[in-house]
Chain A
Amino acid sequence: DIQMTQSPSSLSASVGDRVTITCRASQSISTFLTWYQQKPGKAPKLLIYAASSLQSGVPSRFSGSGSGTDFTLTISSLEPEDFAAYYCQQGYSTPLITFGGGTKVEIK
């Protein structure tokens, strides 16, 4: 099984900050990496797919990069509505997909 490790597991940031979340795969997954945002009590929302493609309707302050085993989700300037949990998901071994453990972005 491909393991996905996210870091940090949580972070505190202020509105306007640049935030970076990292996801590492236990083996190369090419660019089959997806990012989701989840707010408390809500379903996950697709942000980024194929490592760097922005899902339609998602603000451009969100961006993704990486290939192989190391990936990054960046929020260029944190907005109040961005405080949430973020999950990466590998699709290389589809349909046996796996998620990272999540990163909770909290207000400083």
Chain B
Amino acid sequence: EVQLVESGGALVQPGGSLRLSCAASGFSFSNYSMNWVRQAPGKGLEWVSYITAGSASIYYADSVKGRFTISRDNGKNSLYLQMNSLGAEDTAVYYCARYFDYSRRMDVWGKGTTVTVSS
């Protein structure tokens, strides 16, 4: 079964850091680009970051640029999101999603992990 499972979400104080993980199974992880997408409570979807299959190209939304770092370990079938200098505006459910570069679609999503930034 094709699956993505996020972990690492937690309650963190403003200014703190957190590292999210996304474990992939059931497909050739190293062949796919990946995205992180987040959803604040009661709000819509917001794209956060993108990484190509071989990590050659990486992009970030302006809202997280300079604070978040996306990475992957194809040997471990895992995607990561290092989040620093967290603020209340980063409170959200974070999803990882498999991305098809040609058709520009995200066809497999994890269930999400919740990040709450609060003192």
Contacts and interface: CB of A to CB of B under 8 A. Distances in A.
A42 B109 CA distance: 10
Q: Give the contact-size bracket for chain B.
A: 20 to 34
Contacts of B45: 36, 38, 44, 87, 89, 99, 102
B44 A100 contact: yes
Interface residues of A, number: 26
A59 interface: no
Interface in A79-107: 87, 89, 91-92, 94-102
Nearest to A9: B44
B47 A43 contact: no
Nearest to A97: B47
B110 interface: yes
B47 A44 contact: no
Q: Max chain B CB contacts within 10 Å: which of A49, A91, A92, A97?
A: A97
Interface in B63-119: 95, 97, 99-101, 103-107, 109-112
A53 B104 CA distance: 12
A74 interface: no
B29 interface: no
A91 B59 contact: no
Contacts, number: 68
Interface of B: 33, 35, 37, 44-47, 50, 57, 59, 61, 95, 97, 99-101, 103-107, 109-112
A95 B112 CA distance: 21
Contacts of B101: 94-95
Contacts of A55: 105, 107
A95 B106 contact: no
B64 to A, nearest CB: 13
B95 A97 contact: no
Contacts of B110: 43
19 contacts: A32-B104, A34-B105, A43-B95, A43-B111, A43-B112, A44-B45, A44-B95, A44-B109, A45-B109, A49-B100, A49-B107, A50-B103, A87-B44, A95-B57, A95-B99, A97-B35, A97-B104, A99-B44, A99-B46
